[in-house]
Amino acid sequence: MDHLQRFHRLTDLLLETRSWWQFVPFEQFSLPWRVRAPELCAWLSAQPDEALVALRQEASALHRRLSPYLPFVAEFASLVRLPACEPGRIDASSRLSSGVPGRKWQQITAFASALEETGLSWLEWCAGKGHLGRVLAAGSVRRVTSLEWQQALCQQGQSLALKAGLPQRFVQGDALGEVGAALLEREQHAVALHACGELHLELLRQGAARRTLALSLSPCCYHLIPQERYRPLSAAAGATALRLTKLDLKLPLQETVTAPPQVRRRRRRELGFRLGFDSLQRHQGGTGYLPLPTVPKSVLDQGFEAFCRWGCERKGLSLDLGRATEYLAEGEARVSLVEQMETVRQLFRRPLEIWLALDRVLFLQEQGYRVSLSEFCPRSATPRNLLIQARLAQAI
């Protein structure tokens, strides 16, 4: 199956099954499929929350458990299966790992090792401190230009490169502006490891416009775009009936496979607070779910009433908090419902991410590139392990 065939079949299945994934769990007070799939809903309701969370950590186990209830699971599992990259093209010296967290270093070295050999100089897009660029400079002995928005990170990265004696220079500038566009050249291999949303989309658009010979990227944070709705890159995606909101684009990012237990516990506590506050404001005149911004850790640590006061301040509300603990109990009960819905929605996270990646792949093919899509590292290192590699066809 080629990229276009896989894309069209994924599109058809996502459209056919959108009632299973294209909704907001926080707005629900019961499972949306209780009439059409009563056996599945009964099974979900009987499971402890911890069991469902554990099940979501292993995609193959989740598929096996839910496939008797949902016949489309097997085909989705087949459509999202991708080849793993062959390691070993660029060797990363352990001396460069100082100051880099272990899992991040694993991602960097796996990404660098998976890159196709082109013989071209490198452009590191959204470089941070340039950890990837240093690995590329050391492993290939070719010049690296690292583009980064924050001046402090540029200074730290340049210092590390000089200390290591590597041919890496930093340029401070906006990847979405003139500086980023000016740095892209034809005789170049541009790379981006986990550049967010619009940042990696701009690399693809500008790289294709300037006929950059090689582009390699691992997309991340698909929802970080300026529009409320997703604008497909490729003509193929633009011609489909699948329309995605920012909320839909967050779905591929909601895996907690790499999160430590204390992070998962905090997430659950925050979720109970948010749903409890939602129940409180609904009982006092609210007509629908009221989303709140990112909450400071210090507010969560002060308890539910402090969270409610913070929420009221952010939304300009005056609510009676006298029965706050009752609404907290209601919110915590709704957490279990969310866990059940998320267990089913988990099935669609990878298919939707592959669909988004294929939109990028097909755009590059339409621009005359030969493109591959693969996995550059195991999910245990990062769930965002997709690698798109493109070479301008006429230059191969």
**SS3 annotation, 73-130:** HHHHHHHCCCCECCCCCCCCCHHHHCCCCHHHHHHHHHHHHHCCCCCCEEEECCCCCC
3-state class (DSSP) for residue 372:
strand
Instruction: Let me know whether 128 and 177 are in one domain.
Output: yes
Task: Look up residue 69 and give its two tokens.
Answer: 């209830």
Contact between residue 65 and residue 72 where contact means Cβ atoms under 8 Å apart: no
pLDDT in tens, 42-99: 999 999 998 998 899 888 899 999 999 999 999 999 999 999 987 666 766 667 887 8
Q: Would you say residue 292 has pLDDT above 60?
A: yes
Average pLDDT over residues 1-23: 97
Whether 257 has a pLDDT exceeding 60, the answer reads no
CB 146 within 8 A of CB 170: yes
Q: What is the DSSP string of 152-164?
A: HHHHHHHHHHHHH
Is residue 28 scored above 70 in pLDDT?
yes
Does residue 357 or residue 266 have the better pLDDT? 357
**Residue 67 near residue 55 (C-beta atoms within 8 A):** no
Q: Average pLDDT for residues 154-175, to the nearest whole number?
A: 96
Can you spell out the DSSP letters for 247-271?
HHHHGGG---TT--HHHHHHHHHHH
pLDDT band (50, 70, 90) for residue 209: very high
Confidence of residue 395 (pLDDT cuts 50, 70, 90): low
Longest Cα–Cα distance of the chain, Å, equals 71
- Which of 51-60, 243-252, 254-263, 378-387 is the least confident region? 254-263
* Domain co-membership, 63 together with 209: no
Look at residue 259 in the predicted model and tell me its pLDDT. 66
Could you tell me how far CA 307 lies from the centroid of its own chain?
A: 28
Asked whether residue 172 falls in the same domain as residue 197, the answer is: yes
Please enumerate in sequence order all residues whose Cβ is within 8 A of that of 98, keeping only pairs 6 or more positions apart, or say none: none
Task: Residue 143: give the domain boundaries.
Answer: 94-231+350-395
CATH number at residue 214: 3.40.50.150
Check whether residue 170 and residue 101 sit in a common domain: yes
Residues 206-213: what's their mean pLDDT? Answer: 97
Q: Assess whether 303 and 364 both reside in one domain.
A: no
Same domain membership, residue 185 and residue 122: yes
Residue 380 pLDDT class (50, 70, 90 cuts):
confident
Q: For residue 216, what are the contacts with CB-CB under 8 A and spacing of at least 6?
A: 115, 116, 189, 190, 191, 192, 387, 388, 389, 390
Percent of the chain topping pLDDT 90:
82
- Token pair, residue 108, equals 């960097």
CB contact at 8 A, 389 and 360: no
Rounded Cα gap, residues 252 and 248, in angstroms? 8
Same domain (yes/no): 102, 227:
yes
pLDDT at 91: 67
Which tokens is 51 given? 């069991």
* pLDDT in the model for residue 20: 97
- Per-residue pLDDT, 143: 96
The residues with which 37 forms a beta bridge, in sequence order, are none
Does residue 88 lie in a domain region? no
**Among the listed ranges 5-19, 282-296, 302-316, which one has the minimum average pLDDT value?**
282-296
Of 68, 393, 25, nearest to 215 (Cα)?
393
Q: What is the reported pLDDT for 95?
A: 75
Q: How far is CA 351 from CA 203, 254, 346, 390, 395, in A?
A: 23, 13, 10, 21, 32
In this structure, are residues 396 and 377 in contact, taking their beta carbons and an 8 Å threshold?
no
Q: How many domains, in total, are found in the chain?
A: 2
Same domain, residue pair 220 and 361 = yes
What DSSP letter does each residue of 145-199 carry, written as one string?
A: EEEES-HHHHHHHHHHHHHHT--EEEEE--TTSHHHHHH--SSEEEEEEEEEHHH
CB count in 10 Å sphere of residue 31: 19
- pLDDT value of position 256: 56
Can you tell me the distance from the alpha carbon of 215 to that of 212, in angstroms, rounded to the nearest whole number? 7
Looking at the structure, tell me whether residues 10 and 72 fall in a common domain: yes
Q: What is the pLDDT of residues 121-161, one digit of tens each?
A: 999 999 999 999 999 999 988 999 999 999 999 999 999 99
Q: What is the pLDDT of residue 117?
A: 86
Under the banding of pLDDT at 50, 70 and 90, the label for residue 291 is confident
Give the whole-angstrom CA distance, residue 269 versus residue 295: 12
Residue 89 in any domain: the answer is no
Asked if residue 284 belongs to a domain, the reply is yes
* pLDDT value at residue 288: 85
C-beta separation of 192 from 218 below 8 A: yes
Residue 177: the pLDDT is: 94
Residues 152 and 294 in one domain: no
Higher pLDDT, 262 or 204: 204
Is 38 inside any structural domain? yes
